[in-house]
Chains A and B, each alone.
Chain A
Amino acid sequence: MGIIRMLAFILVLAMNIEARPISYSGGSTLMVKSDNLSNSTYFHYSPSFKYSIGLEDFDNKLYQDDINYFRFTYLLNRKNTLNSQRNLYFQSGIDISNKNNNFYGAHGDWETRRWFAGFGYKKVEGETNNGYENKYLQFGVAPYIGDYGDFHTWLMVKTKKSSLTKNISTFPVLKFFSGDALVEVGYDDQTNWDLHLMYRF
């Protein structure tokens, strides 16, 4: 199967899917992300399981922008079954000090206790960066099925593309979580480290 067909297949699968940018009602979450293009620290609160609001300190490494976004994420659709859950989210953000800096996009995921698939699209507009797009696809498998409260491990593959660099990079990602803490670590020789830490309060 050619890479294009494989990606198309993955995209079709991913479009049926979702992620966790919204907590349970009344919950809040701290997320820290770092990759070759940006560093981000994001804290959000979920008044309802349908949406979250939060603040993000976003540092664009390429343009050396440091933007403080007010963010809003909305659950467009969720499907629960006994063995799976899928979600589709709308995401957006606006610079607190300059409304011309903003972004919007969508992301989704689908997961069972064994399999995971997710995708994301983000369009960023700003005065200093001329606008750019980021996209990713992510797939994973749990090598073992842990019980509630156990240490959980996921082996994943992530493909991402940014219009800033024009490169498509595909690399392995390890995801671990236990209790309220989650760590995701990826590495690619083109884009180096891709880190994501999350703690849910």
Chain B
Amino acid sequence: MKKILLALFITSPLVWAEEGSMNMHHHSHEGHLHDKMVDGKNLEVNAERFDKFMEGIVDMNIAIVSVQGMVCDFCARGIEKAFLKDSNVNKIDVDLDSGKVIIAYVKSKEIDPDVIKKMILMNGQNMTNLQIIKI
């Protein structure tokens, strides 16, 4: 069994939460809610859920993050905890069904895709796409 474990160590591809292909879209849009378009694409969100999230939100930058590996409530907790430590984050929603994390940042905060990507990775998941809208 020692040999098996040794072989495991040696042959393990050590593929950390692989970084999938990532598309990031930056755009400022007037208006509101789920029928917004970013780079000609509709927002990739659950419409009803997104509208509920947006209730009462004004003057914010919204990041819609697509995440791979977010299949378990218990495991996604770290994402919420990490982002809420940032004083620029006003609100966050984790949607396990669609693999989306929606984050509302204060208007004065310029959203840095690399920071979001790193924070998702620190929780053991991968960011694959990011849409940003300004409300």
- Residues of chain A at the chain B interface (Cβ within 8 Å): 20, 22-27, 48-50, 75-85, 88, 90, 104-106, 111-113, 121, 123, 133, 145-150, 152, 177, 179-180, 182, 200
Binds A, one of B24-32, B34-42, B55-63, B119-127: B119-127
Task: Establish whether residues A27 and B78, one from each chain, have CB atoms under 8 Å apart when the complex forms.
Answer: yes
**A11-B130 Cα distance, complex, nearest whole Å:** 38
Lowest 6 A-B CB distances belong to which pairs? A80-B69, A24-B78, A25-B122, A49-B124, A80-B68, A24-B123
Task: Establish whether residues B74 and A177, one from each chain, have CB atoms under 8 Å apart when the complex forms.
Answer: yes
Taking CB as reference atom, which chain B residue is nearest A74? Answer: B9
User: What are 7 A-B residue pairs whose CB atoms fall within 8 Å in the complex?
Assistant: A75-B124, A77-B15, A78-B69, A80-B18, A81-B68, A81-B69, A84-B69
Contacts of A180 in B (CB 8 A): 74, 77
Contacts of B96 in A (CB 8 A): 113, 147-148
Give chain A nearest CB distance to B106 CB in angstroms. 23
Contacts of B81 in A (CB 8 A): 24, 27
Taking CB as reference atom, which chain B residue is nearest A116? Answer: B72
Of the candidates A76, A80, A113, the one whose C-beta lies within 8 Å of that of B125 is A80
Contacts of A77 in B (CB 8 A): 12-15
Task: Establish whether residues B99 and A82, one from each chain, have CB atoms under 8 Å apart when the complex forms.
Answer: yes
Task: Establish whether residues B9 and A104, one from each chain, have CB atoms under 8 Å apart when the complex forms.
Answer: no
Contacts of B74 in A (CB 8 A): 20, 152, 177, 180, 182, 200
Contacts of B123 in A (CB 8 A): 24-25, 49
- Residues of chain B at the chain A interface (Cβ within 8 Å): 1-2, 5, 8-9, 12-18, 20, 68-69, 71-79, 81-82, 93-97, 99, 121-126
**A23-B79 Cα distance, complex, nearest whole Å:** 11
**A88-B7 Cα distance, complex, nearest whole Å:** 13
Give chain A nearest CB distance to B131 CB in angstroms. 16
Contacts of B95 in A (CB 8 A): 148
| CB contact under 8 A between A24 and B69, given known A78-B124, A121-B1, A148-B76 | no
Contacts of B1 in A (CB 8 A): 121, 123, 133
Contacts of B77 in A (CB 8 A): 24, 179-180, 200
Task: Establish whether residues B122 and A90, one from each chain, have CB atoms under 8 Å apart when the complex forms.
Answer: no
Give chain B nearest CB distance to A164 CB in angstroms. 16
**A113-B2 Cα distance, complex, nearest whole Å:** 34
**A148-B70 Cα distance, complex, nearest whole Å:** 10
Task: Establish whether residues B122 and A78, one from each chain, have CB atoms under 8 Å apart when the complex forms.
Answer: no
Of the candidates B17, B20, B73, the one whose C-beta lies within 8 Å of that of A49 is B17
Residue among B74, B79, B121 facing the most chain A CB atoms (10 A cut-off): B74
Contacts of A182 in B (CB 8 A): 74
Contacts of A121 in B (CB 8 A): 1
**A83-B97 Cα distance, complex, nearest whole Å:** 9
Taking CB as reference atom, which chain B residue is nearest A177? Answer: B74
**A82-B2 Cα distance, complex, nearest whole Å:** 34
**A82-B127 Cα distance, complex, nearest whole Å:** 10
Give chain A nearest CB distance to B135 CB in angstroms. 22
**A134-B107 Cα distance, complex, nearest whole Å:** 55
Task: Establish whether residues B72 and A113, one from each chain, have CB atoms under 8 Å apart when the complex forms.
Answer: yes
